[in-house]
Chains A and B, each alone.
Chain A
Amino acid sequence: MALDIDQLTVRQAVVGLRTGAYSSVALTQAMLEAIATRNPAVNAFVWLDEADAMRQAEAADRARQAGQQGVLLGVPLAVKDVLNVDGHPCSCGSKILRGYTALYDATAIARLRAAGALLVGRTNMDEFAMGSTTENSAFGPTRNPVALDHVAGGSSGGSAAAVAGGMALAALGTDTGGSIRQPASFCGCVGLKPSYGRISRYGLVAYASSLDQIGPITRTVADAALLLGVMAGRDALDATTLDQPVPDYNAALTGDLRGLRLGLPREYFVDGMDPEVAVAVRAATARCRELGAQIVEVSLPHTRYAVATYYILAAAEASANLARFDGVRYGFRATGEGAPIDMYKQTRAQGFGCEVQRRIILGTYVLSSGYYDAYYLRAQKVRTLIRRDFDAAFAQCDALLTPVAPTPAYRMGETMDDPLHMYLGDIFTVTANLAGVCGLSVPCGRTAGGLPIGLQVLGPAFGEERVLRVGHAYEQSRQGEAL
Protein backbone atom coordinates (compact mmCIF):
# COMPACT_ATOMS: atom_id res chain seq x y z
CA MET A 1 0.00 0.00 0.00
CA ALA A 2 1.32 3.42 -0.90
CA LEU A 3 2.17 5.62 2.05
CA ASP A 4 -0.40 8.41 2.44
CA ILE A 5 1.31 11.68 3.36
CA ASP A 6 -1.79 13.92 3.10
CA GLN A 7 -2.25 14.27 6.83
CA LEU A 8 1.01 12.80 8.10
CA THR A 9 2.73 14.92 10.74
CA VAL A 10 6.45 15.16 11.40
CA ARG A 11 5.98 13.50 14.80
CA GLN A 12 4.07 10.61 13.24
CA ALA A 13 6.79 10.23 10.61
CA VAL A 14 9.48 10.21 13.31
CA VAL A 15 7.66 7.32 15.02
CA GLY A 16 6.97 5.51 11.76
CA LEU A 17 10.62 5.69 10.74
CA ARG A 18 11.90 4.71 14.17
CA THR A 19 9.62 1.69 14.47
CA GLY A 20 10.40 0.59 10.93
CA ALA A 21 6.80 0.96 9.71
CA TYR A 22 8.35 2.55 6.63
CA SER A 23 11.76 3.70 5.43
CA SER A 24 12.88 7.22 4.61
CA VAL A 25 13.13 6.06 1.00
CA ALA A 26 9.44 5.07 1.02
CA LEU A 27 8.41 8.30 2.73
CA THR A 28 10.44 10.46 0.36
CA GLN A 29 9.14 8.52 -2.62
CA ALA A 30 5.58 9.22 -1.46
CA MET A 31 6.41 12.91 -1.15
CA LEU A 32 7.93 13.04 -4.65
CA GLU A 33 4.88 11.29 -6.11
CA ALA A 34 2.56 13.74 -4.37
CA ILE A 35 4.57 16.67 -5.74
CA ALA A 36 4.51 15.21 -9.27
CA THR A 37 0.72 14.87 -9.12
CA ARG A 38 -0.27 18.02 -7.26
CA ASN A 39 2.35 20.65 -7.90
CA PRO A 40 1.37 21.51 -11.50
CA ALA A 41 -1.94 23.04 -10.33
CA VAL A 42 -0.49 24.80 -7.28
CA ASN A 43 3.14 25.73 -8.16
CA ALA A 44 4.35 25.38 -4.59
CA PHE A 45 7.74 23.99 -5.63
CA VAL A 46 9.95 25.87 -8.08
CA TRP A 47 12.82 23.37 -8.08
CA LEU A 48 13.14 19.70 -7.23
CA ASP A 49 16.00 17.24 -7.69
CA GLU A 50 14.41 13.83 -7.20
CA ALA A 51 17.71 11.95 -7.41
CA ASP A 52 19.25 14.22 -4.76
CA ALA A 53 16.23 13.68 -2.49
CA MET A 54 16.46 9.92 -2.87
CA ARG A 55 20.20 9.96 -2.18
CA GLN A 56 19.53 11.82 1.09
CA ALA A 57 16.79 9.32 1.99
CA GLU A 58 19.03 6.33 1.28
CA ALA A 59 21.78 7.87 3.40
CA ALA A 60 19.30 8.38 6.27
CA ASP A 61 18.14 4.76 6.07
CA ARG A 62 21.76 3.57 6.08
CA ALA A 63 22.51 5.81 9.07
CA ARG A 64 19.58 4.31 10.97
CA GLN A 65 20.76 0.78 10.19
CA ALA A 66 24.17 1.81 11.51
CA GLY A 67 22.53 2.73 14.80
CA GLN A 68 22.33 6.51 14.44
CA GLN A 69 19.36 8.28 16.04
CA GLY A 70 18.73 11.96 15.19
CA VAL A 71 15.41 13.50 16.21
CA LEU A 72 14.48 14.11 12.56
CA LEU A 73 16.40 11.22 11.00
CA GLY A 74 14.92 10.49 7.58
CA VAL A 75 12.20 13.18 7.67
CA PRO A 76 11.95 15.16 4.40
CA LEU A 77 11.35 18.91 4.75
CA ALA A 78 10.65 21.51 2.05
CA VAL A 79 12.68 24.72 2.02
CA LYS A 80 11.73 28.25 1.00
CA ASP A 81 13.84 29.47 -1.92
CA VAL A 82 15.54 32.12 0.25
CA LEU A 83 17.56 29.80 2.54
CA ASN A 84 20.94 28.52 1.40
CA VAL A 85 21.24 24.75 1.09
CA ASP A 86 24.68 23.71 -0.12
CA GLY A 87 24.52 22.58 -3.74
CA HIS A 88 20.89 23.59 -4.29
CA PRO A 89 19.80 26.67 -6.22
CA CYS A 90 18.82 29.74 -4.19
CA SER A 91 16.85 32.12 -6.41
CA CYS A 92 14.72 34.06 -3.92
CA GLY A 93 11.95 33.94 -6.52
CA SER A 94 14.00 36.35 -8.63
CA LYS A 95 15.36 36.44 -12.15
CA ILE A 96 18.44 38.23 -10.79
CA LEU A 97 19.57 35.02 -9.02
CA ARG A 98 18.82 32.79 -11.99
CA GLY A 99 21.34 29.96 -12.07
CA TYR A 100 22.78 30.72 -8.63
CA THR A 101 23.89 27.66 -6.66
CA ALA A 102 24.31 27.95 -2.87
CA LEU A 103 27.84 27.32 -1.63
CA TYR A 104 27.07 26.55 2.01
CA ASP A 105 24.26 25.62 4.41
CA ALA A 106 22.38 28.25 6.38
CA THR A 107 22.81 27.57 10.12
CA ALA A 108 19.14 26.56 10.50
CA ILE A 109 19.60 24.14 7.59
CA ALA A 110 22.84 22.75 9.04
CA ARG A 111 21.08 22.09 12.37
CA LEU A 112 18.17 20.30 10.67
CA ARG A 113 20.64 18.26 8.64
CA ALA A 114 22.59 17.37 11.79
CA ALA A 115 19.29 16.15 13.31
CA GLY A 116 18.89 13.86 10.29
CA ALA A 117 16.34 15.82 8.21
CA LEU A 118 16.35 15.72 4.41
CA LEU A 119 16.15 19.02 2.52
CA VAL A 120 13.85 18.46 -0.44
CA GLY A 121 13.09 21.01 -3.15
CA ARG A 122 12.71 24.77 -3.16
CA THR A 123 9.36 26.41 -2.45
CA ASN A 124 8.00 29.46 -4.23
CA MET A 125 7.91 32.92 -2.66
CA ASP A 126 7.35 36.57 -3.42
CA GLU A 127 10.58 37.87 -4.89
CA PHE A 128 13.09 38.47 -2.07
CA ALA A 129 10.19 37.86 0.35
CA MET A 130 8.54 41.14 -0.64
CA GLY A 131 4.84 40.54 -0.95
CA SER A 132 1.84 39.01 0.74
CA THR A 133 0.48 36.78 -2.01
CA THR A 134 3.30 34.79 -3.71
CA GLU A 135 2.17 36.32 -6.98
CA ASN A 136 5.36 38.40 -7.23
CA SER A 137 7.67 35.54 -8.21
CA ALA A 138 9.82 35.08 -11.30
CA PHE A 139 8.55 31.47 -11.26
CA GLY A 140 4.89 32.47 -11.56
CA PRO A 141 2.28 32.60 -8.80
CA THR A 142 1.50 29.90 -6.25
CA ARG A 143 -2.18 29.02 -5.90
CA ASN A 144 -3.97 28.20 -2.67
CA PRO A 145 -4.46 24.39 -2.61
CA VAL A 146 -7.68 24.88 -0.63
CA ALA A 147 -9.17 27.16 -3.31
CA LEU A 148 -7.17 27.40 -6.52
CA ASP A 149 -8.63 30.76 -7.59
CA HIS A 150 -7.23 32.32 -4.40
CA VAL A 151 -3.69 33.23 -3.38
CA ALA A 152 -1.68 31.10 -0.96
CA GLY A 153 -0.56 34.24 0.89
CA GLY A 154 3.01 35.30 1.16
CA SER A 155 5.77 35.63 1.09
CA SER A 156 6.23 31.97 2.17
CA GLY A 157 3.25 30.94 0.03
CA GLY A 158 5.00 27.98 -1.59
CA SER A 159 5.88 26.48 1.79
CA ALA A 160 2.33 26.88 3.14
CA ALA A 161 0.82 25.51 -0.08
CA ALA A 162 3.19 22.52 0.00
CA VAL A 163 2.15 21.65 3.57
CA ALA A 164 -1.58 22.32 3.07
CA GLY A 165 -1.60 20.73 -0.39
CA GLY A 166 -0.33 17.33 0.72
CA MET A 167 3.14 17.77 -0.78
CA ALA A 168 5.24 18.22 2.37
CA LEU A 169 4.91 17.24 6.03
CA ALA A 170 6.47 20.54 7.02
CA ALA A 171 8.39 23.36 5.39
CA LEU A 172 10.63 26.24 6.34
CA GLY A 173 9.53 29.81 5.84
CA THR A 174 10.79 33.25 6.75
CA ASP A 175 8.81 36.08 8.34
CA THR A 176 9.74 39.76 8.04
CA GLY A 177 6.24 41.25 8.42
CA GLY A 178 4.00 38.18 8.55
CA SER A 179 5.40 36.01 5.77
CA ILE A 180 5.09 32.76 7.78
CA ARG A 181 1.93 33.48 9.75
CA GLN A 182 -0.22 34.95 6.97
CA PRO A 183 0.29 32.19 4.34
CA ALA A 184 -0.20 29.59 7.11
CA SER A 185 -3.48 31.34 7.93
CA PHE A 186 -4.57 31.56 4.27
CA CYS A 187 -3.80 27.87 3.61
CA GLY A 188 -5.01 26.42 6.93
CA CYS A 189 -1.75 25.31 8.51
CA VAL A 190 0.36 26.23 11.52
CA GLY A 191 3.11 28.86 11.22
CA LEU A 192 5.56 30.06 13.87
CA LYS A 193 7.58 33.27 13.75
CA PRO A 194 10.12 32.98 16.55
CA SER A 195 11.37 35.96 18.53
CA TYR A 196 14.09 38.04 16.90
CA GLY A 197 17.40 36.42 17.83
CA ARG A 198 15.97 32.95 18.56
CA ILE A 199 17.07 31.30 15.27
CA SER A 200 20.21 32.26 13.38
CA ARG A 201 19.70 34.18 10.15
CA TYR A 202 23.09 33.11 8.77
CA GLY A 203 22.50 31.85 5.25
CA LEU A 204 19.10 33.52 4.93
CA VAL A 205 19.23 35.99 2.04
CA ALA A 206 18.47 39.25 3.83
CA TYR A 207 15.41 41.38 3.10
CA ALA A 208 15.14 43.53 6.25
CA SER A 209 17.83 42.33 8.62
CA SER A 210 16.37 43.78 11.81
CA LEU A 211 13.00 42.10 11.19
CA ASP A 212 13.73 38.78 9.39
CA GLN A 213 13.29 35.46 11.20
CA ILE A 214 13.23 31.84 10.01
CA GLY A 215 10.45 29.56 11.24
CA PRO A 216 8.50 26.37 10.55
CA ILE A 217 5.20 25.91 8.67
CA THR A 218 3.61 22.66 9.83
CA ARG A 219 0.39 20.67 10.22
CA THR A 220 0.39 20.76 14.03
CA VAL A 221 1.65 23.00 16.81
CA ALA A 222 3.64 20.06 18.21
CA ASP A 223 5.55 19.82 14.91
CA ALA A 224 6.34 23.54 15.08
CA ALA A 225 7.67 23.02 18.62
CA LEU A 226 9.83 20.12 17.45
CA LEU A 227 11.39 22.00 14.52
CA LEU A 228 11.91 25.15 16.59
CA GLY A 229 13.84 23.18 19.19
CA VAL A 230 16.20 21.85 16.52
CA MET A 231 16.86 25.23 14.87
CA ALA A 232 16.95 27.56 17.89
CA GLY A 233 19.98 28.81 19.77
CA ARG A 234 22.95 31.09 19.65
CA ASP A 235 25.12 31.03 16.54
CA ALA A 236 28.53 32.65 16.32
CA LEU A 237 27.79 33.38 12.65
CA ASP A 238 24.81 35.62 13.51
CA ALA A 239 25.68 38.20 16.15
CA THR A 240 21.99 39.05 16.66
CA THR A 241 21.20 35.61 18.08
CA LEU A 242 20.84 35.62 21.84
CA ASP A 243 22.69 33.37 24.22
CA GLN A 244 19.51 32.11 25.86
CA PRO A 245 19.00 28.44 26.73
CA VAL A 246 16.78 26.46 24.36
CA PRO A 247 14.00 24.96 26.50
CA ASP A 248 12.27 21.66 25.79
CA TYR A 249 9.41 23.15 23.76
CA ASN A 250 7.59 19.81 23.69
CA ALA A 251 7.29 19.95 27.46
CA ALA A 252 5.35 23.21 27.13
CA LEU A 253 2.48 21.43 25.35
CA THR A 254 0.40 20.71 28.43
CA GLY A 255 -2.99 20.70 26.69
CA ASP A 256 -4.65 23.13 29.09
CA LEU A 257 -4.66 26.87 29.66
CA ARG A 258 -5.32 26.96 33.39
CA GLY A 259 -3.71 29.91 35.12
CA LEU A 260 -2.96 31.81 31.90
CA ARG A 261 -4.15 35.33 31.23
CA LEU A 262 -4.77 35.98 27.55
CA GLY A 263 -5.15 39.52 26.26
CA LEU A 264 -7.37 40.80 23.47
CA PRO A 265 -5.83 44.00 22.05
CA ARG A 266 -8.79 46.22 21.27
CA GLU A 267 -6.98 47.78 18.29
CA TYR A 268 -6.97 44.35 16.58
CA PHE A 269 -10.75 44.04 16.58
CA VAL A 270 -11.72 46.95 14.39
CA ASP A 271 -14.33 47.96 11.86
CA GLY A 272 -13.45 46.93 8.35
CA MET A 273 -12.34 43.47 9.36
CA ASP A 274 -14.01 40.64 7.49
CA PRO A 275 -17.01 39.65 9.66
CA GLU A 276 -16.36 35.91 9.28
CA VAL A 277 -12.78 36.41 10.50
CA ALA A 278 -14.05 38.40 13.50
CA VAL A 279 -16.61 35.72 14.38
CA ALA A 280 -14.07 32.88 14.11
CA VAL A 281 -11.49 34.65 16.26
CA ARG A 282 -14.10 35.59 18.88
CA ALA A 283 -15.19 31.95 19.01
CA ALA A 284 -11.57 30.84 19.43
CA THR A 285 -11.25 33.28 22.32
CA ALA A 286 -14.32 31.77 23.98
CA ARG A 287 -12.82 28.31 23.52
CA CYS A 288 -9.61 29.41 25.23
CA ARG A 289 -11.69 30.63 28.17
CA GLU A 290 -13.35 27.19 28.38
CA LEU A 291 -9.87 25.66 28.45
CA GLY A 292 -9.07 27.58 31.62
CA ALA A 293 -7.62 30.88 30.45
CA GLN A 294 -8.69 34.20 31.85
CA ILE A 295 -9.44 36.69 29.07
CA VAL A 296 -8.59 40.36 29.56
CA GLU A 297 -8.80 43.35 27.26
CA VAL A 298 -5.55 45.20 26.62
CA SER A 299 -4.45 48.07 24.39
CA LEU A 300 -1.63 48.41 21.87
CA PRO A 301 -2.26 52.09 21.14
CA HIS A 302 0.34 52.60 18.40
CA THR A 303 -0.94 49.76 16.21
CA ARG A 304 -2.32 52.19 13.65
CA TYR A 305 1.20 53.42 12.89
CA ALA A 306 2.69 49.93 12.50
CA VAL A 307 2.22 49.48 8.75
CA ALA A 308 3.72 52.90 7.97
CA THR A 309 6.64 52.23 10.32
CA TYR A 310 7.19 48.78 8.88
CA TYR A 311 7.24 49.90 5.24
CA ILE A 312 9.72 52.70 5.98
CA LEU A 313 12.11 50.45 7.90
CA ALA A 314 11.76 47.34 5.73
CA ALA A 315 12.17 49.29 2.49
CA ALA A 316 15.20 51.14 3.88
CA GLU A 317 16.92 47.93 4.93
CA ALA A 318 15.97 46.24 1.66
CA SER A 319 17.48 49.04 -0.42
CA ALA A 320 20.78 48.54 1.40
CA ASN A 321 20.69 44.72 1.42
CA LEU A 322 19.83 44.45 -2.26
CA ALA A 323 22.64 46.77 -3.35
CA ARG A 324 24.82 43.65 -3.66
CA PHE A 325 22.90 42.45 -6.70
CA ASP A 326 24.80 44.25 -9.45
CA GLY A 327 25.53 41.53 -12.00
CA VAL A 328 29.23 41.29 -11.13
CA ARG A 329 29.74 38.25 -8.91
CA TYR A 330 26.69 36.03 -9.35
CA GLY A 331 23.32 35.64 -10.99
CA PHE A 332 21.91 37.48 -13.95
CA ARG A 333 23.84 40.14 -15.87
CA ALA A 334 22.28 42.31 -18.55
CA THR A 335 24.18 42.19 -21.82
CA GLY A 336 25.00 45.31 -23.76
CA GLU A 337 27.58 47.99 -24.32
CA GLY A 338 28.57 50.71 -21.92
CA ALA A 339 30.31 51.49 -18.67
CA PRO A 340 29.95 49.36 -15.52
CA ILE A 341 27.37 51.75 -14.09
CA ASP A 342 25.12 51.16 -17.10
CA MET A 343 25.57 47.43 -16.65
CA TYR A 344 24.52 47.72 -12.99
CA LYS A 345 21.45 49.78 -13.82
CA GLN A 346 20.33 47.55 -16.67
CA THR A 347 21.01 44.37 -14.71
CA ARG A 348 18.96 45.58 -11.74
CA ALA A 349 16.11 46.96 -13.88
CA GLN A 350 15.85 43.72 -15.88
CA GLY A 351 16.65 41.35 -13.00
CA PHE A 352 14.34 42.67 -10.26
CA GLY A 353 10.56 42.51 -10.51
CA CYS A 354 8.24 45.50 -9.98
CA GLU A 355 7.56 45.08 -6.27
CA VAL A 356 11.28 44.77 -5.45
CA GLN A 357 12.06 47.85 -7.54
CA ARG A 358 9.30 49.81 -5.80
CA ARG A 359 10.63 48.95 -2.35
CA ILE A 360 14.25 49.69 -3.32
CA ILE A 361 13.15 53.12 -4.59
CA LEU A 362 11.06 53.79 -1.47
CA GLY A 363 13.95 52.69 0.75
CA THR A 364 16.47 54.80 -1.12
CA TYR A 365 14.13 57.78 -0.79
CA VAL A 366 13.63 57.48 2.98
CA LEU A 367 17.39 57.09 3.52
CA SER A 368 18.44 59.89 1.18
CA SER A 369 20.04 63.10 2.36
CA GLY A 370 17.46 65.40 3.91
CA TYR A 371 14.89 62.65 4.44
CA TYR A 372 16.69 60.26 6.78
CA ASP A 373 15.60 62.02 9.98
CA ALA A 374 12.08 62.72 8.76
CA TYR A 375 11.32 59.13 7.78
CA TYR A 376 13.87 56.54 8.90
CA LEU A 377 14.84 57.93 12.30
CA ARG A 378 11.22 58.81 13.11
CA ALA A 379 10.14 55.29 12.16
CA GLN A 380 12.78 53.83 14.48
CA LYS A 381 11.34 55.94 17.29
CA VAL A 382 7.81 54.81 16.54
CA ARG A 383 9.22 51.30 16.69
CA THR A 384 10.24 52.03 20.28
CA LEU A 385 6.65 53.06 21.06
CA ILE A 386 5.30 49.86 19.49
CA ARG A 387 7.78 47.78 21.51
CA ARG A 388 6.70 49.58 24.69
CA ASP A 389 3.05 48.86 23.85
CA PHE A 390 3.91 45.15 23.92
CA ASP A 391 5.93 45.48 27.15
CA ALA A 392 2.91 47.09 28.80
CA ALA A 393 0.49 44.51 27.42
CA PHE A 394 2.64 41.57 28.55
CA ALA A 395 2.75 43.08 32.03
CA GLN A 396 -1.02 42.46 32.13
CA CYS A 397 -1.25 39.10 30.38
CA ASP A 398 0.81 36.08 29.29
CA ALA A 399 -0.06 36.10 25.60
CA LEU A 400 -2.31 37.92 23.13
CA LEU A 401 -5.02 36.52 20.87
CA THR A 402 -5.67 38.29 17.57
CA PRO A 403 -6.62 37.56 13.98
CA VAL A 404 -3.63 36.83 11.71
CA ALA A 405 -5.05 38.93 8.91
CA PRO A 406 -8.16 41.10 8.54
CA THR A 407 -9.41 38.92 5.65
CA PRO A 408 -9.18 35.37 4.35
CA ALA A 409 -7.10 34.69 1.20
CA TYR A 410 -7.47 37.24 -1.60
CA ARG A 411 -8.59 36.26 -5.07
CA MET A 412 -5.70 35.85 -7.51
CA GLY A 413 -4.72 39.23 -8.95
CA GLU A 414 -6.78 41.26 -6.49
CA THR A 415 -3.89 43.26 -4.98
CA MET A 416 -1.52 43.33 -7.94
CA ASP A 417 -2.13 46.92 -9.08
CA ASP A 418 -2.58 48.43 -5.64
CA PRO A 419 0.50 47.89 -3.44
CA LEU A 420 -0.88 49.96 -0.56
CA HIS A 421 -3.99 47.79 -0.40
CA MET A 422 -1.76 44.72 -0.04
CA TYR A 423 0.44 46.44 2.56
CA LEU A 424 -2.57 47.25 4.76
CA GLY A 425 -3.39 43.54 5.01
CA ASP A 426 -0.21 43.15 7.10
CA ILE A 427 -1.53 45.28 9.97
CA PHE A 428 -1.87 42.46 12.54
CA THR A 429 1.45 40.74 11.76
CA VAL A 430 4.05 43.50 11.26
CA THR A 431 3.86 44.57 14.91
CA ALA A 432 5.50 41.34 16.15
CA ASN A 433 8.48 41.87 13.83
CA LEU A 434 8.85 45.51 14.84
CA ALA A 435 8.75 44.58 18.54
CA GLY A 436 10.89 41.43 18.13
CA VAL A 437 8.27 39.23 19.85
CA CYS A 438 7.08 35.77 18.77
CA GLY A 439 3.84 34.85 17.01
CA LEU A 440 2.01 31.67 16.09
CA SER A 441 -0.73 31.18 13.50
CA VAL A 442 -3.19 28.35 14.18
CA PRO A 443 -6.24 27.42 12.06
CA CYS A 444 -9.47 28.50 13.81
CA GLY A 445 -12.21 27.98 11.25
CA ARG A 446 -13.33 28.50 7.70
CA THR A 447 -15.49 31.02 5.90
CA ALA A 448 -18.81 29.92 4.42
CA GLY A 449 -16.90 29.71 1.13
CA GLY A 450 -14.40 27.29 2.67
CA LEU A 451 -11.41 29.62 3.05
CA PRO A 452 -9.24 29.01 6.14
CA ILE A 453 -9.04 31.56 8.95
CA GLY A 454 -6.09 31.84 11.33
CA LEU A 455 -5.85 32.72 15.02
CA GLN A 456 -2.67 34.55 15.99
CA VAL A 457 -1.12 33.95 19.41
CA LEU A 458 1.49 36.59 20.27
CA GLY A 459 3.95 36.12 23.10
CA PRO A 460 6.77 38.18 24.58
CA ALA A 461 10.34 37.91 23.29
CA PHE A 462 11.58 34.39 23.98
CA GLY A 463 8.08 33.40 25.11
CA GLU A 464 7.73 30.63 22.50
CA GLU A 465 6.75 28.09 25.17
CA ARG A 466 3.69 30.17 25.99
CA VAL A 467 2.43 30.67 22.45
CA LEU A 468 3.03 26.99 21.66
CA ARG A 469 1.14 25.97 24.80
CA VAL A 470 -1.83 28.18 23.90
CA GLY A 471 -1.86 27.12 20.25
CA HIS A 472 -1.53 23.44 21.11
CA ALA A 473 -4.32 23.44 23.72
CA TYR A 474 -6.64 25.26 21.33
CA GLU A 475 -5.74 22.92 18.46
CA GLN A 476 -6.29 19.82 20.61
CA SER A 477 -9.72 21.11 21.67
CA ARG A 478 -10.75 21.24 18.03
CA GLN A 479 -9.26 17.93 16.98
CA GLY A 480 -11.38 16.08 14.47
CA GLU A 481 -12.96 19.25 13.12
CA ALA A 482 -12.21 20.24 9.54
CA LEU A 483 -10.25 23.46 9.95
Chain B
Amino acid sequence: MGVSCEWLPNHGYRREGVDLANTTADIRVAYVANLARLELDEASCALFQRQLETVVEYVRQIGELNLDGIEPTSHGQPVYNVFRADEVRPGLSHDRVLANAPAKMGEEFKVPRIVE
Protein backbone atom coordinates (compact mmCIF):
# COMPACT_ATOMS: atom_id res chain seq x y z
CA MET B 1 0.00 0.00 0.00
CA GLY B 2 1.17 3.53 -0.72
CA VAL B 3 2.21 5.81 2.12
CA SER B 4 1.24 9.43 1.84
CA CYS B 5 3.88 11.95 2.83
CA GLU B 6 1.69 15.03 2.59
CA TRP B 7 1.76 15.44 6.36
CA LEU B 8 5.53 15.99 6.50
CA PRO B 9 6.59 19.59 7.07
CA ASN B 10 7.41 21.58 3.93
CA HIS B 11 11.02 22.14 4.84
CA GLY B 12 11.65 18.39 4.65
CA TYR B 13 14.02 16.46 6.82
CA ARG B 14 14.88 18.26 10.03
CA ARG B 15 18.55 18.45 10.54
CA GLU B 16 20.60 18.83 13.68
CA GLY B 17 19.98 22.08 15.50
CA VAL B 18 16.44 22.71 14.25
CA ASP B 19 14.72 24.82 16.86
CA LEU B 20 11.59 23.11 18.10
CA ALA B 21 10.40 26.46 19.43
CA ASN B 22 9.97 27.74 15.85
CA THR B 23 7.75 24.90 14.68
CA THR B 24 4.28 23.77 15.69
CA ALA B 25 3.11 20.62 17.49
CA ASP B 26 2.01 18.90 14.28
CA ILE B 27 1.30 15.36 15.46
CA ARG B 28 -1.43 13.77 13.32
CA VAL B 29 -2.75 10.84 15.25
CA ALA B 30 -4.74 9.25 12.42
CA TYR B 31 -1.61 9.01 10.27
CA VAL B 32 0.81 7.94 13.02
CA ALA B 33 -1.63 5.30 14.30
CA ASN B 34 -1.48 3.65 10.88
CA LEU B 35 2.33 3.57 11.07
CA ALA B 36 2.02 2.00 14.52
CA ARG B 37 -0.50 -0.58 13.23
CA LEU B 38 -3.36 0.58 15.41
CA GLU B 39 -6.88 0.73 13.99
CA LEU B 40 -8.47 3.61 15.86
CA ASP B 41 -12.13 4.55 15.70
CA GLU B 42 -13.02 8.22 15.27
CA ALA B 43 -13.70 8.79 18.95
CA SER B 44 -10.33 7.39 20.08
CA CYS B 45 -8.59 9.29 17.32
CA ALA B 46 -10.11 12.60 18.42
CA LEU B 47 -9.37 11.92 22.10
CA PHE B 48 -5.74 10.94 21.46
CA GLN B 49 -5.29 13.90 19.11
CA ARG B 50 -6.36 16.30 21.86
CA GLN B 51 -4.33 14.57 24.61
CA LEU B 52 -1.18 14.05 22.55
CA GLU B 53 -1.14 17.62 21.23
CA THR B 54 -0.87 18.68 24.88
CA VAL B 55 1.88 16.13 25.55
CA VAL B 56 3.85 17.04 22.41
CA GLU B 57 3.52 20.74 23.25
CA TYR B 58 4.98 19.96 26.68
CA VAL B 59 7.90 17.78 25.52
CA ARG B 60 8.89 20.37 22.91
CA GLN B 61 10.43 22.42 25.71
CA ILE B 62 13.68 20.49 25.20
CA GLY B 63 14.01 22.71 22.14
CA GLU B 64 15.03 25.58 24.45
CA LEU B 65 18.40 24.01 25.23
CA ASN B 66 21.58 24.63 23.31
CA LEU B 67 22.88 21.12 22.66
CA ASP B 68 25.79 21.94 20.38
CA GLY B 69 28.65 19.53 20.97
CA ILE B 70 26.72 17.35 23.45
CA GLU B 71 27.00 13.61 22.82
CA PRO B 72 23.79 11.57 23.02
CA THR B 73 23.41 9.05 25.87
CA SER B 74 21.65 5.84 24.86
CA HIS B 75 22.25 3.92 28.09
CA GLY B 76 22.94 4.92 31.66
CA GLN B 77 26.12 2.87 31.79
CA PRO B 78 28.98 2.79 29.32
CA VAL B 79 28.89 -0.80 28.04
CA TYR B 80 30.13 -1.53 24.54
CA ASN B 81 30.62 -4.59 22.36
CA VAL B 82 29.71 -7.38 24.73
CA PHE B 83 30.44 -10.77 23.21
CA ARG B 84 29.76 -14.33 24.24
CA ALA B 85 30.93 -17.63 22.85
CA ASP B 86 28.90 -18.72 19.82
CA GLU B 87 27.72 -21.97 21.33
CA VAL B 88 24.56 -23.89 20.61
CA ARG B 89 22.25 -23.90 23.62
CA PRO B 90 18.99 -25.75 24.06
CA GLY B 91 15.95 -23.78 22.91
CA LEU B 92 12.26 -24.02 23.64
CA SER B 93 10.29 -26.99 22.33
CA HIS B 94 7.80 -26.48 19.50
CA ASP B 95 5.02 -27.86 21.66
CA ARG B 96 5.51 -25.40 24.49
CA VAL B 97 5.89 -22.40 22.18
CA LEU B 98 2.89 -23.32 20.07
CA ALA B 99 0.79 -23.79 23.20
CA ASN B 100 0.73 -19.96 23.44
CA ALA B 101 -0.27 -19.45 19.80
CA PRO B 102 -3.72 -17.97 19.11
CA ALA B 103 -3.97 -20.24 16.03
CA LYS B 104 -1.74 -23.04 14.78
CA MET B 105 -1.62 -25.73 12.15
CA GLY B 106 0.70 -28.67 12.74
CA GLU B 107 4.01 -27.23 13.88
CA GLU B 108 3.36 -23.72 12.53
CA PHE B 109 1.63 -20.50 13.50
CA LYS B 110 -1.52 -20.04 11.47
CA VAL B 111 -2.10 -16.53 10.04
CA PRO B 112 -4.66 -14.99 7.68
CA ARG B 113 -4.10 -15.68 4.00
CA ILE B 114 -1.35 -13.43 2.63
CA VAL B 115 -1.45 -14.42 -1.07
CA GLU B 116 -4.45 -13.45 -3.19
Within 8 A of A (CB), among B50-101: 51-52, 54-56, 58-63, 65, 67, 70-77, 79, 82, 84, 92, 96-97, 99-101
Contact with B along A96-108 (1 / 0, CB 8 A): 0001110110000
Residues of B contacting A420 in the complex (Cβ-Cβ under 8 angstroms): 51, 54-55, 58
CB closest chain-A residue, reference B72: A380
CA gap between A457 and B87 in the complex, in Å: 42
Instruction: Give the segment of A31-39, A139-147, A280-288, A342-350 that binds chain B.
Output: A342-350
Contact in complex: A349, B38 (CB < 8 Å): yes
A2, CB-defined interface residue at 8 Å = no
Please give, as numbers and ranges, the residues of chain A lying within 8 Å of B105 by CB-CB distance.
none
* Residue tally, chain A, CB below 8 Å to B: 80
CB-CB under 8 A from A479, the residues of chain B are none
Chain A residue nearest to B116 in the complex (CB): A339
How far, in whole Å, are A363 and B48 apart by their CA atoms in the complex? 13
Main secondary structure on A side of the interface with B: helix
Residue from A381, A419, A433 in contact with B70 in the complex, judged by beta carbons closer than 8 Å: A381
Shortest distance from the beta carbon of A192 to any chain B beta carbon, whole Å: 16
A374 with B20: in contact, given A312-B62, A328-B111 (CB under 8 Å)? yes
Closest chain A residue to B103, Cβ basis: A333
List 5 A-B residue pairs with CB atoms under 8 Å apart, sorted by A's residue number: A210-B74, A319-B36, A341-B1, A343-B111, A423-B58
Decide yes or no: A330 and B77 within 8 Å by CB, A309-B62, A339-B112, A382-B67 being known contacts: no
Q: How far is the CA of A461 from the CA of B56 in the complex (A)?
A: 31
A365 to chain B, nearest CB (A): 5
Is A410 engaged at the interface, CB distance under 8 Å to the other chain? no
Interface size class of B (residues with CB under 8 A): 35 or more
**Which A residues, 295 to 349, have Cβ-Cβ distances below 8 Å to chain B?**
302, 304-305, 307-309, 311-312, 319, 323, 326-333, 338-346, 348-349
Asked if residues B100 and A329 are in contact (CB atoms below 8 Å), the reply is: yes
Asked if B46 is at the interface of the complex by the 8 Å CB criterion, the answer is no
Chain A residues closer than 8 Å to B24, beta-carbon distance: none
Residues of A within 8 A of B74 (CB): 210, 380
With contacts A382-B65, A384-B71, A437-B76 known, is A344 near B37, CB below 8 A?
A: yes
